[in-house]
Amino acid sequence: MSVTARKVETLRWRDGKLDMIDQRVLPAVFEYLSYDSAAGVAEGIRSMVVRGAPAIGVAAAYGLALEASRLQGSSENEFRQGLETGIELLAASRPTAVNLFWALNRVRRVWSGLSGLGNAAVAVRLLDEAHEMLAEDIRINRAMGAFGASLLPDGARVLTHCNAGALATAGWGTALGVFRSAVEAGKKISVIADETRPFLQGARLTAWEMVQENIPVTLITDNMAGFMMSRGEIDAVMVGTDRVAANGDVANKIGTYMVAVLAKRHSIPFYVACPLSTIDLTVPDGSAIPIEERAPEEVLGFRENQWAAQGVSVRNPAFDVTPAELVTALITERGIIYNPSSESLSALFRSEP
Ligand code: MRU
């Protein structure tokens, strides 16, 4: 694994524990929190210490490995019950990003294949799998980065929404990984980051990542994107995703749909960087994707600074769905899928090696 791929170590294994950068306090404070149980990791995911679809998936895999290690001295029955409870807690932490469930299914399959092995050996094997998932995520992001970079002309000014960077993955990033790969390939690109209300992943996390790497970045509030597009100041949109339905509809951070509509209006390509683990063929279209509704406090203000009138009613859906017809292309680790559809997505999985 190259050093640059892990410049930002969102998740790291230290002294038998999982360390996660506390993304709630970035960029003011850079600190790691340490976890040693599935319940702890589930709470870290729920409370947004770690966020971003691929990062959540890898964190969950470590969560189960930690639980196995913690319970290895228990009876066979307690161990099995404990891991089942761990999986339940992790699965209940956040509903929208399918990578969480994809990762839990994967580690469950590994565990199921180990019948007859002692608890300690199961714990070792689950930890190996989590390490492999972390390394694999970075390889996948690198592959998507190379495909995606080919879509960006030299000098492109690219809008992104939320944070689909190293912080949202095991490293490199999906949408921001494309920017990193384009820069690595010698292209001059500049990033326009939507601030991404209400949790401010764009202002706090994307801007921070790009500043760290000296990739030119301009921060705008979410309601400025249309103006910038109308003035010819945006050449492409590149976002990540939390779940893509079988027909190509894309769930991503709330506000993404608005950007996609604007991009269509202005004939600007709208790209989605999407590892295969984010495609969910079990949901036919975007209307079946569960959308997380978060606490009203996030909309009423930010942290202790609450600016809205007490007593006002609030909606706080954390994600929205962009219909496939607004998506120019999905960028996967296996190549670029233009005009995603049920046909093209099922063909992608039929061709799985
Ligand atoms: O609520 P978050 O911060 O977990 O939402 C994250 C996003 O919407 C990202 O765009 C998505 O997970 C893709 S991350 C590579």
Residue type, 214: N
What is the C-alpha separation between 96 and 82, in angstroms, rounded?
25
242 flagged as catalytic: yes
Question: Domain residues for 103?
Answer: 5-141
- What integer pLDDT is reported at residue 350 of this predicted model? 86
Q: DSSP label at 293?
A: B
Q: Is 51 annotated as a binding residue?
A: yes
Q: Are residues 135 and 202 in the same domain?
A: no
Q: Are residues 53 and 97 in the same domain?
A: yes
- What integer pLDDT is reported at residue 303 of this predicted model? 86
How many domains does the chain divide into?
A: 2
Q: Are residues 95 and 177 in the same domain?
A: no
Which of 94, 116, 141 is the last residue before a domain boundary? 141
Residue type, 91: A
Beta-strand runs (E) in 168-269: 190-194, 217-220, 236-239, 243-245, 250-253
Provide block-wise average pLDDT over 10 residues at a time, the chain (353 residues): 63 98 97 98 98 98 98 97 98 98 98 95 98 98 98 98 98 98 98 98 98 97 98 98 98 98 98 98 98 97 93 98 98 98 95 63
What is the C-alpha separation between 194 and 196, in angstroms, rounded?
5
**CA nearest neighbour of 248 among 286, 289, 278:** 286
Q: Are residues 104 and 182 in the same domain?
A: no
What CATH number did the domain enclosing 247 receive?
Answer: 3.40.50.10470
Q: Is 253 annotated as a binding residue?
A: yes
Q: Are residues 57 and 178 in the same domain?
A: no
- Among the listed residues 242, 249, 280, 320, the single catalytic one is 242
Q: Are residues 104 and 240 in the same domain?
A: no
Q: Are residues 151 and 103 in the same domain?
A: no
- What integer pLDDT is reported at residue 110 of this predicted model? 98
Cα of 76 vs centre of ligand 1, distance in Å, is: 37
Q: Are residues 128 and 226 in the same domain?
A: no
Query: What residue's CA is closest to ligand 1, atom 6?
Result: 52
Which of 141, 164, 198 is the last residue before a domain boundary? 141
Q: Is 51 in the pocket of ligand 1 (CB under 6 A)?
A: yes
Residue type, 202: G
Which of 93, 114, 141 is the last residue before a domain boundary? 141
Cα of 43 vs centre of ligand 1, distance in Å, is: 17
Q: Are residues 342 and 294 in the same domain?
A: yes
Q: Is 97 in the pocket of ligand 1 (CB under 6 A)?
A: yes
Polymer length in residues for the chain: 353
